[in-house]
Structure 1
Amino acid sequence: MCAPPPRPDLAPDPELDRAAMEALQREIAAAAVFVDEFTFDREPLTNPLAASATADGDPPTVVGIDQSFLTNEAGDQDRALSAVVAVRGGEVIERVAAVTDLETPYIPGLLSFREGGAILAALAELSVEPDLFLFDGSGRIHFRQAGIATHIGVVRDVPSIGVAKSLLCGTPREETANLSTGTRVGIEANAKVDAPEGTLLGYAVQTRQYDSPNRYINPLYVSPGHRVGPETAADIALALASSYKLPEPVRLADSYATEAKRDYVDS
């Protein structure tokens, strides 16, 4: 199967009304590919000891993406800051950030229209070619199967994975409390999702856990965004969360978002 072309015509438009936004998300989901369809070698990502690399001899370039927000004098959030960190072979090779005005309110399930402009602006500043996007946000685990990882992944036609801290929709196939490290539990579509009930949307992935019976760490909710299947998405997220709960590219983007926000305010 040939990879689909980029779709700038599907970029999030904050001027759309809610019905049009939801209709666009359904179009995004129809254009998305929720199976493995990428050219990079996944071994350097899922197996740190692997010596394999991409065809040009370099490990895959993984780009972590996270958001922060700036406030006006009244204390209201009025701008989105997108932080993008490119990692190759465990080393940071580039960091960029962009700020755009917020034109839509916070509405669960429509975050790509609120934050997507800043993300696309930051990605436009990136000089390296990404092999994979990792988002702090949802992919297919979404009411219309088109979370921010899917939306931006389709627009840029880059393999993408969504890594969310909470479950937006769908039903876990098993209990997700107090899972042991490395455990994954399938998340399937329910009546809230535009997909046949039982469709595998992604996984609850336990990347870290306390060695204590009295407290536990919640899992991450990992789902394919575009051109990545659910099993590969879970494998990569788990393998890249080497020292912390979040996969390292996303954790670095989160840290850079805080740094860039501080620098922007100070300037």
Structure 2
Amino acid sequence: MRGPPELVRPDLVPDPGNSHDEMEAQQREIAAVATFTDDFEFDPAPIIDGQLATPGEEPPLVAGVDQAFLDDRAISAIVVSRGGEIIERVYSVTDLSIPYIPGLLAFREGGPILDAVEKLTNTPDLFVFDGSGRIHFREAGIATHIGVVLDVPSIGVAKSLLCGTPTWSIEGLAADERVPIEADADVTAPDGATIGYAVQTRQYDSPNRHINPLYVSPGHRVGPATAADLVLALADGYKLPEPTRRADAYAEEAKSLVQD
């Protein structure tokens, strides 16, 4: 237990009061300082291999982050687990000041997430966000933005593809398959750079029913292939990886408490 993560880059905290141009400029700055290669303080290989941790070491703390909404408020939920066991759950309720704008999600929801982060009594080793990381027009989705502000390894897991091009068809993928997502003209990364993966965590056996893949991308201090590996390992038989699945459920639970 080390207390909540620090704001390593408070100057880059998303400000919903900024102009559209200022928001995009800050995202380009975020992308310039983000690290899209592995830089962990733990060994991710045991998790990827289906183990809890390196023998003799404690499993890392993995945080799932998701939100629910009530009128003009965000209920931001964080669930922290170690080796599959829930260690801590926190949520915050924050007023929203701007509408959803594609590509600028962090400026609407990043502040509310940071409000919840302040309530943590543990410092997670990895954050998994419901939202994009490098699969983003300016390579700075919410997982990248918050990952850089906190300087923590982070992964973005989105349900729809914001930008980029799959290198081959993603229709009817089998469970555990993945397809690289490459940068195209809509992305500031060099054309052809792998900015993430379409990841099929689960699939129906029936040929007449299909589950769509998730779009997994590095947020900060994680490489694209490792991000895909970790999400597959953390899915545990469900479509969503366990960290965000738990955060989603807790956000809905907290929403019901706020409504009462």
Residue by residue, what CA displacement relative to the aligned partner does 1:64-84 show, whole Å, maximum 9, x if unpaired? 00011111xxxxxx1111100
2:194 — aligned with what? 200
2:156 aligns with 162
Listed as ranges, the gaps of 5+ residues in structure 1 are 72-77
2:10 to 4, 8, 18: 8
Correspondence for 1:61: 61
Q: What secondary structure sits across from 2:180 in the alignment?
A: strand
The equivalent residue for 2:220 is 226
Equivalent residue for 2:76, pick from 77, 82, 88 = 82
Which of 46, 52, 55 matches 2:54? 52
- For 1:215, the equivalent position in structure 2 comes to 209
For the 8 Å contact 1:160–1:224, the answer to whether it is kept is: yes
Once residues 49 and 189 of structure 2 are traced to their aligned partners in structure 1, the CA distance between those partners, rounded to angstroms, is: 33
CA distance in 2, matches of 1:68, 1:117: 14
Q: Which residue of 1 aligns with 2:246?
A: 252
State whether structure 2 residue 230 is matched by structure 1 residue 236.
yes
| Equivalent position amino acid for 1:68 in 2 | A
Note if contact 1:66-1:250 (Cα within 8 Å) is conserved in structure 2.
Answer: yes
Indicate if the aligned counterparts of 2:53 and 2:59 stay in contact, CA closer than 8 A: no
Partner of 1:75: none
Shift of 1:176: 0.2
- 1:42-191 pair list within 5 angstroms: 42-49=44-51, 52=54, 57-71=57-71, 78-191=72-185
Which of 40, 43, 48 in structure 1 is aligned with 2:42?
40
CA distance in 2, matches of 1:63, 1:111: 20
Structure 1: distance between partners of 2:81 and 2:48: 14
Cα distance, 1:207–1:113 mapped onto 2, change above 3 Å: same
| CA separation of 1:95 and 1:215: change in aligned 2, threshold 3 A | same
Displacement after TM superposition at 1:169 (Å): 0.3
Hey, what's the Cα distance between the residues in 2 that align with 1:171 and 1:220?
14
CA distance in 2, matches of 1:202, 1:6: 25
Separation in structure 1 between the aligned mates of residue 118 and residue 199 of structure 2, nearest angstrom: 31
Give the root-mean-square deviation of aligned CA atoms: 1.2
Amino acid at match of 2:186: K
Aligned length: 254
Distance in 2 between residues matched to 1:109 and 1:62, nearest whole Å: 26
Is the CA contact 1:43–1:50 (under 8 Å) kept in the aligned structure 2? Answer: no
Taking structure 2 as the reference length, the TM-score comes to: 0.95
User: What is the CA–CA distance in structure 2 between the aligned matches of 1:51 and 1:226, rounded to whole Å?
Assistant: 21
Cα distance in 1 for partners of 2:182, 2:51 equals: 33
CA contact (8 A) 2:216 2:228 kept: yes
Identity of aligned residues (%): 66
The separation in 2 between residues aligned to 1:224 and 1:47, in whole angstroms, is 19
- 1:204 Cα offset (Å): 0.3
Q: Which residue of 2 aligns with 1:264?
A: 258
C-alpha contact 1:53 1:60 (8 A) present in aligned 2: no
Helix, strand or coil at the partner of 1:134: strand
Q: 2:32 aligns with which of 9, 30, 33?
A: 30
Shift of 1:8: 1.3
Read off the aligned partner of 2:64 and give its amino acid letter.
Answer: G
| CA displacement, residues 22-47 of structure 1 (integer Å, 9 cap, x when unaligned) | 00000000010000011111134212
